[in-house]
Chain A
């Protein structure tokens, strides 16, 4: 460990983990995220002028990690609910289920900054092979708008790579 991360760890790890535990209501998740936060500091080292400044930074980063975790769980829960509601003949194999969950989470990460309606138009058009007309009917927008959404979101994904 670079010395400054080591110092940061010993000064702030306990504090950060208990902050996360209050926030998440779960000690195991809090420990995981605190670990992740310091791992990130290791990959992109920074130095801070004062302890409060370090804590502001750590808290902001850990807050972002909470949101990420919570989004992943939200997707997972929605997928489990969807699976539970499927007719048995349509339920994919366990391996396929895991691949789908991974894909859904990756897509969510890719589209998290895109407006919700545009993201939905994009996933329907690309993921379900739906025509502009079909997407337009489902979302209650014009076909022109759907075409625009798909192009915009695709460009967003391309630029974010």
Chain B
């Protein structure tokens, strides 16, 4: 035995859940998420949970493990995302073999380990923004000139006011702006895709990955894409601005204005759209059964209170909301 062969037996920290309970919890987990669990299974699991503290503690540890997958589940395509893991782990075994062989051969030098580094994450910058909201939070901010900004969920912007200029930089998310009159200082909103100049107005700006969405409710906004021409967008108009120019002109959706303030007004909107919006307010994962995804939704829903919204939807629509795990919501036909 070499000196490196340290013993690494199981840790013996105090754990209220004994090993039997852990084993049973793991089996329950495998069954409940298999797609084959019956109502009776679920009831039996509930009874098992209620039997003892050890069971409850074991199950909460199972949920803990499951939560580590949350950021992946909320990507648009989790299979692609985990494809990265699968690719890396399959290659890892091959690579480790190479590493071992090279070490044995004594060459030592591993030029293939010159990896690309990712640039400093942009979101770190968002954390240092002048104003920001957490996920699920909506905040009303009054700027020094009297302008009101409603900052939507998970959003951030910087404020650069000077004697000659009022300029905001939207770093993430969405905001509704009602500008205060100040003829001496232009009011600008910059995004990575271009510049918006307010012409006495109320409008929303939402930053998506590929473009900025502008909707004007009062007055007008002058939009200049980073590499494009200048357009004037008037009240009642909505448009997408990418770096190259403006596209997708259409009438504003009145729901958008209230949505920035956390209220979603649905008039014949498909259920999947409502759920997509709700995901912006709630950490976790929502899976929607295809047979209910296109049901039409009517009414006003408070996005800042996702549980209440789900309960409201469940009471007026032929759907059932299940929670296999606390962060995991599954919506099915009733």
Contact = CB atoms under 8 A, between A and B. Distances in A.
A128 B78 contact: yes
A147 B33 CA distance: 9
Interface string A53-89: 1001100100000010011011111111110011011
A151 B71 CA distance: 22
A150 B65 CA distance: 12
Interface string B57-90: 0100110111011111111111111111111111
Interface in B278-310: 285, 287
B39 interface: no
Chain A CB within 10 Å — which of B4, B89, B154 has the most? B89
Given A82-B81, A86-B80, A94-B121, A131 B34 contact: yes
A80 B113 CA distance: 16
Contacts of A131: 34-36
A81 B287 CA distance: 26
B210 A88 contact: yes
A132 B34 contact: yes
Given A150-B33, A157-B65, A123 B209 contact: no
B4 A56 contact: yes
A158 interface: yes
B140 interface: no
Given A56-B4, A94-B121, A120-B89, A159 B10 contact: yes
Contact of B30 (A74, A89, A154): A154
Interface of B: 2-4, 10-11, 15, 19, 22-23, 25-27, 29-31, 33-36, 58, 61-62, 64-66, 68-93, 95-96, 99, 103, 108-111, 113-116, 118, 121-124, 126, 154, 172, 209-210, 285, 287, 328
Given A131-B34, A151-B27, 10 more contacts: A24-B113, A77-B88, A82-B81, A85-B80, A86-B77, A125-B33, A131-B35, A147-B34, A155-B22, A155-B26
